[in-house]
Homo-oligomer: A and B are copies of this chain.
């Protein structure tokens, strides 16, 4: 397979993959493009490569920067802004985990805390069933929260090393 074709394939699959994870196709494609390109690219480069509009490009680059997956790069002697993806894939994963934990897991845990304190007789079958489910989810959620925290703080080798020992 030729490089150009391989890049195309990677970009298109990464885009499809992203849509399963709540990331829109274009955002994932721009990320993919920057991941496999040797040098930083301008907005116009990206537009042309992916044949998407200026607005769409701009919007999604900004979103990628928000997620901490892409950085603005200043190239001396150039007026235009350049963009580059974080290439250390382990950092990328940690970054995504960190953001999603904050945006999704933490609010859910806060809600579960409230719901656990539903009024009424705990012997009532309906209340019992509700509280048990909520407590179960909360327990697992809190555990996941802690585990992810460790993972975010951890260094790649430490993490891989520990898992290898644990799961061998």
Q: Which residues of A contact B (CB under 8 A)?
A: 1-3, 6-7, 9-10, 13, 17, 19-22, 35-38, 87-90, 93, 100, 103-104, 108, 111, 114-115, 117-120, 125-130, 132-134, 136-137, 139-140, 143, 146-147, 150, 160, 162-163, 166-167
Whether the pair A3, B133 counts as a contact (CB closer than 8 A) is no
> Which 6 A-B pairs have CB atoms at the shortest separation, nearest pair first?
A38-B129, A6-B118, A89-B136, A150-B167, A38-B125, A36-B130
| Chain B residues whose CB sits within 8 angstroms of the CB of A20 once the complex forms | 22, 100, 103-104
Decide yes or no: A160 and B143 within 8 Å by CB, A115-B6, A115-B9, A125-B38 being known contacts: yes
Q: Count copies of this chain in the complex.
A: 2
In the complex, are the beta carbons of A119 and B22 less than 8 A apart?
Answer: no
Question: Could you tell me if B167 and A104 are in contact, using CB atoms closer than 8 angstroms?
Answer: no
The answer to whether B37 touches A129 (Cβ under 8 A) is yes
Q: Which of B2, B36, B90, B117 lies in contact with A133, CB distance below 8 A?
A: B36
* B residues near A137, Cβ cutoff 8 Å: 89
A84 to chain B, nearest CB (A): 11
Question: Contacts of A125 on B, CB cut-off 8 Å?
Answer: 38
A85–B129 alpha-carbon span in the complex (Å)? 12
A87:B133 contact, CB within 8 angstroms: yes
Complex CA distance for A130 and B9, rounded to whole angstroms: 12
Q: Is the CB of B6 within 8 A of A130?
A: yes
Nearest-CB distance from A6 to chain B (Å)? 4
